[in-house]
Amino acid sequence: MSLPSSSPQAAIIGGGPAGLIAAEALARSGLAVTVYDRMPSVGRKFMMAGRGGLNLTHSEDFERFVTRYAEAEPVLRPLIEAFRPKDLRAWCEGLGEATFVGSSGRVFPKAFKASPLLRAWLTRLEDLSVRFALRHTWQGWDAEGALVFTDAAGQTVTTKPDATILALGGASWPRLGSDGSWVSMLQGKGIAVAPLRPANMGFTLPWSEVMRSRFEGEPLKRIALAFEGVTVKGEAIITADGIEGGAVYALSRSLRNAIERQGSAKLLLDLRPDLSLDALEKRLSLPRKGQSASTFLRKAAGLSPLGIATLRESAPQLPVEPEALARLIKAVPLTLTGTKSLGRAISTAGGVPFSELDEHLMLRRMPGVFVAGEMLDWEAPTGGYLLQATFATGIAAAKGVLSFLKIPDAALTSNPSSVTRHP
């Protein structure tokens, strides 16, 4: 499909899910859209998310869903109301990828990966005449306000579109394209940026040499972690210098904030969350019959070698008295001393604060420039909340562009033929 040459021009910088969904919405409304990305292909982090099954969104009650965005809930709520989890599922299904709700309530495409969805999406975008300028690294604006890129040949490329959407992502996994280099470009324009910090990440913890050499990469399964009155059941993985995994990520926001406040955080590990303290104490009251402490803990308390080693890390002299031992097994104290780096985190906290944006996600200081996705200052746990807000803010920014350019909004449908043309 070709567009009239007089169509309004939109530049989208960043070909992650926020940029691509914005491109789709704008192209449907008849804009000539170019997606710029520094990488040789778009959607690399989306593909990486697909390795874990591509948890697109969550099926829980909407009122509970929006609380996951904590302080950002008031600003994100109307945007997610306009593109709800059910809309994201319908969009995915419109691309031929059925979705299902997993046992935890998380929503995934049935293919349990990103590649078929991304392939179908890119075909749709091509049908909508979206242009892709790959290997184009954004460098900021020139003195005339034009966008400046460096292309693969090192040449400078400039363009002055009618509207721009910045969808450059956070700064985790920089090898996938998003490295947060946009921060200084926006700050140079007088725009405040909240410091980028790791979110959904691991923590450092000074393990002994024995622990490191024997158990690095091993999972602590069916455990519970507790911090500041919140308990999360799941799994954690021992790393050379700390701990990571689903249950850790779920508490990572409050753990990170506590470490920032006081230098460390005490995480409590329950090695037998399925047993009450009383039941565990009873088991530990059985006669030891000359068994070594490890054999006794394995047989009476059902602890794995890793569970026993973790217990010993916190208390080299294990209590003999059954009640004290049971209490320790149900609350092993782990002192976390720092966060793993932003580069290794699942997502990024911080970014462009909503106070710099109007309700259409347009920069107040730069009319015609919109911001979407993970570069905005919000964070959320894993569970599909990251992609849901990424998509919803991409759609909101695209609607903002349409309202800025006074172009009617052709609602997102699964039918790419429903495109408005602007003569």
Ligand X SMILES: Cc1cc2nc3c(=O)[nH]c(=O)nc-3n(C[C@H](O)[C@H](O)[C@H](O)COP(=O)(O)OP(=O)(O)OC[C@H]3O[C@@H](n4cnc5c(N)ncnc54)[C@H](O)[C@@H]3O)c2cc1C
DSSP of 36-86, one letter per residue? E-SSSSS-HHHHHHHTTT---EE-S-HHHHHHTTGGGHHHHHHHHHHS-HH
Q: Find the farthest-apart pair of alpha carbons in the chain and give their distance in angstroms, rounded.
A: 89
**Among 37, 270, 313, 377, which residue sits at the site for ligand X (rule: CB under 6 A)?**
37
Site pattern 47..86 for ligand X (x: CB under 6 A)? -xx--x-xx-------------------------------
Smallest gap from residue 153 Cβ to ligand X (A): 16
CA 204/CA 339 separation, integer angstroms: 6
Question: Judged by CB under 6 A, which stretch of 78-86, 171-179, 253-261, 294-302 contacts ligand X?
Answer: 171-179
Minimum CB distance to ligand X smaller for 204 or for 347: 347
What SS3 state is found at 110?
coil
CA 246/CA 249 separation, integer angstroms: 5
**Among 24, 244, 270, 374, which residue sits at the site for ligand X (rule: CB under 6 A)?**
374
User: Closest Cα to residue 152, out of 136, 176, 133, 173?
Assistant: 136
Structure tokens at 399: 């609607």
Strand runs (DSSP E) across 245-392, as ranges?
265-270, 332-336, 338-339, 347-351, 369-371
What residues contact 262, with CB distance under 8 A and at least 6 apart? Answer: none
Let me know if 214 is exposed, middle or buried by CB neighbors in 10 A (0-12, 13-18, 19+).
middle
287-346 binders of ligand X (CB under 6 A): 346
Residue 19 touching ligand X (CB under 6 A) = yes
**Among 10, 11, 13, 309, which residue sits at the site for ligand X (rule: CB under 6 A)?**
13
Residue 223 touching ligand X (CB under 6 A) = no
Minimum CB distance to ligand X smaller for 41 or for 337: 41
**Among 161, 242, 246, 384, which residue sits at the site for ligand X (rule: CB under 6 A)?**
384
Minimum CB distance to ligand X smaller for 169 or for 307: 169
Q: How far apart are the first and last CA of the chain?
A: 14
Q: Looking at the DSSP assignment, which residues form a beta bridge with residue 362?
A: 370
User: Closest Cα to residue 135, out of 40, 51, 209, 215?
Assistant: 40
Length of the chain: 423
**Among 36, 69, 141, 207, which residue sits at the site for ligand X (rule: CB under 6 A)?**
36
Minimum CB distance to ligand X smaller for 85 or for 177: 177
Site pattern 132..161 for ligand X (x: CB under 6 A)? -----xx-----------------------
Residue 34 touching ligand X (CB under 6 A) = no
Question: Judged by CB under 6 A, which stretch of 173-181, 262-270, 298-306, 328-336 contacts ligand X?
Answer: 173-181
CA 18/CA 151 separation, integer angstroms: 22
Residue 391 touching ligand X (CB under 6 A) = no
Minimum CB distance to ligand X smaller for 30 or for 394: 394
CA 168/CA 244 separation, integer angstroms: 26
**Among 7, 9, 16, 253, which residue sits at the site for ligand X (rule: CB under 6 A)?**
16
Minimum CB distance to ligand X smaller for 138 or for 404: 138
Site pattern 177..216 for ligand X (x: CB under 6 A)? xx--xx----------------------------------
Question: Judged by CB under 6 A, which stretch of 25-33, 92-100, 238-246, 383-391 contacts ligand X?
Answer: 383-391
CA 15/CA 45 separation, integer angstroms: 10
Residue 412 touching ligand X (CB under 6 A) = no
* Interface size with ligand X, residues (CB under 6 A): 39
Q: What angle, rounded to 10 degrees, do the helices at 17-28 and 385-404 form?
A: 40
Smallest gap from residue 293 Cβ to ligand X (A): 39
Binding site for ligand X (CB under 6 A): 13-19, 36-39, 42, 44-46, 48-49, 52, 54-55, 137-138, 167-169, 172-173, 177-178, 181-182, 346-347, 373-374, 384, 386-387, 390
